[in-house]
Structure 1
Amino acid sequence: MNTAHTRGNLATVLSLQGRLAEALPIMKRNFQERTRLLGSEHPDTLRAGLNLADTLLENGELDAAEELMRDTWGAQERVLGSTYPDTLISRHNMARLLHARGELDAAAAAYRDVQPCMEEVLGMSHEITLENLHHFGVLLSERRQRAAAVQLLEQVLNNRRQALGHHHPDTQETEKALLAAKNLPPPGEATGWVPVT
């Protein structure tokens, strides 16, 4: 099993480096081996499924990601509980998937629904809690909800600066998103867009 852990760690590092084409085959093999050796509902298998689904999402394989996410999330709810950190990450990842599909209302509801649990279980400065808020802020910006997006992204930026520092890639990502939100036209300015309420 140590080999599987090492292989899983390698795949995670490759994924974080954006080397998805190299990470995916390793993750798929790791998930299949864990399923065979440990069973489909073992926590290590569920973690491997969570990581694989996230990498499929990052690679744009939305159908495959959604199927695995739903299976993993369902098993996590049964085995680990609804407030276990990995279960919360799966809920966040499902919101990201809906966002990637352009299902903005459903994604907004999913980001909103998981946030209080994340804050309670993980804390306000946890990287996943901040990531959820960041993505929700980006979604608000995409919906041209300028004031709400700016307020939320400023909160995320302040927390990321404190938790990660000014030069961390996640902090810089939020700085860019905040700048984009601030550059949105004010409400009522002629843009051909009708605000969502």
Structure 2
Amino acid sequence: MRTGIILAGGDSKRIGTDKGLLDLNGRPLISYVIESLRPVVDEIIVVVGSEERISNYRNAVEEDVRIFPDMYEDGSPLIGLITGLTHAKGTYAVVAACDMPFINSDLLDLLFLLSFDLNGTLLIKSNGWVEPLPAVYKVDIGRERADQMRMHGDLRLRKVLETLPDVARIQVERLKVIDPKLRSFFDLDTKDRYNEALRIIKD
């Protein structure tokens, strides 16, 4: 069984609203991420920053999507990861952010296949840095390592897969065969990026 986890922690300081609920061409932004995950997972989990946000997201997503608040108050993507992996029913989980509207489903399927019998798939950019999202984790091992990091005060999401043994290491550039413009990694972290996303959709 495969799980899809969407991290929707809270407000964006640069955009000024809850990004997952941001209207993008008449739809909430998170709906694009859900649409990308559905063909390759058996369940979808959305992790939000607090109990108060659950009702807002409940009105924006389908009934079968499960929504959970962060388990801890640190308010970081790592906490969202721990929360999602804790509630996941699958053996493996793909994790994405709520502001990534152009994720390629075939690319996600490949990440799952590459992770088979391993602890996950680590994506490496051309500059050597880790691309933390989207990523696939073996649920039990990933949760254990992420929680160890939290207890030691290290909340860096990219370090979870970096410090795990037995992970597939893939250069992002190689994924252009599936996603030529690598739009799976496009996120809306500024108003300019929001406007760019609108242009992409309308083109």
Q: TM-score range by the shorter chain?
A: under 0.3
**Larger strand proportion of the pair:** 2
Q: TM-score, normalised by structure 1?
A: 0.28
**Larger helix proportion of the pair:** 1
Q: TM-score, normalised by structure 2?
A: 0.27
Larger radius of gyration: 1
